[in-house]
Structure 1
Amino acid sequence: MATSCTTDRHDHHDVYAAMCPCRDVLDLLANKWSALAIGALEDSPQRFGALQRRLEGVSPKVLTATLRRLEDAGFVTRTVYPAVPLHVEYALTDLGYSVAKPLAQLRDWVEDNLDRIHPKATTGA
């Protein structure tokens, strides 16, 4: 039997519970493209093309899906400006800014410790 998503302690959610929606949020934020997109948006709103150039290696399809998921979760807003050609900007919401700092710490930790991590973990071998 699956355990409840909330614990007896102050109604906090329990990410270790099998059916807890926390896992979906953790899955979204632990995705490399989500973490990088949030980081790229920390300083200012960005257009799609600028984001794609900043996130080297991401395909337009994957970036679009990532931004949609972040928008659906409330981390990012998408603003369409009526211009020719169409001008669309993505920006972090307050919720997005609140998660940007811990994600930045994780990105910094990875950069600082990459040389200490076993080579098989970083090459996919």
Structure 2
Amino acid sequence: MEICPYLEETFKILGRSWNGLLINYLSRCDDRAAHFSDIKRDLKSITPRALSLKLGELAEWDLVEKKVITTTPLSIKYVLTDKGYALSQAMIPIEQWAQNNLELAEEVNSH
């Protein structure tokens, strides 16, 4: 039996650290967009360097777009593309499965 090559490619994206969480995070933001500093604030354990690299990876897969807003001062937002949003919606059943079947450490549950 052969594994579906599309599923294999999808797990190459989601199997990398932070990618799934970043896609999920942006899907929950207003306008599916957030500033770098907001993402860093809310995903506390990611380093700024790792966040920058991951956003770049997701942009290469056309899942996230970097939008420069020409205001004073200049503003940059990271926006989930339609393709990225579709992937976030496909992850909802996985999230529901995890909520029903996985136990989290007490420390995580209390936050």
Shorter-chain TM-score bucket reads 0.7 to 0.9
Query: Any unmatched runs of 5+ in structure 2?
Result: 106-111
Match of 1:55 in 2: 43
Among candidates 24, 46, 52, match of residue 64 of structure 1? 52
Distance 1:58 1:94 in 2: 25
The whole-number CA distance in structure 2 between the counterparts of 1:108 and 1:36 is: 15
For 1:28-39, list aligned pairs within 5 A.
28-39=13-24
SS at match of 1:41: helix
Calculate the TM-score normalised by the size of structure 1. Answer: 0.67
Residues 22 and 113 (structure 1), Cα distance of their counterparts in 2 relative to 1, 3 Å cut: closer
Question: RMSD of the TM alignment (CA)?
Answer: 2.6
SS at match of 2:95: helix
Find out whether 1:106 has 2:94 as its counterpart: yes
Letter of the 1:70 partner, please give it: L
Structure with the larger RCO, 1 or 2 (CA within 8 Å, 6+ apart)? 2
Using a 3 Å threshold, how does the CA distance of structure 1 residues 54 and 108 change in structure 2: closer, same or farther? farther
Unpaired segments ≥5 residues, structure 1: 1-6, 8-12, 16-20, 120-125
**How far apart are the structure 1 equivalents of 2:95 and 2:48?**
22
Q: Does residue 27 of structure 2 align to residue 27 of structure 1?
A: no
Write out the 4+ residue segments of structure 1 that deviate beyond 3 Å after TM superposition. 21-25
Shift of 1:37: 0.7
Structure with the higher helix share, 1 or 2: 2
Deviations 1:2-43 (A, max 9, x none): xxxxx9xxxxx942xxxxx86454221233411111111113
- Paired residues, what number? 101
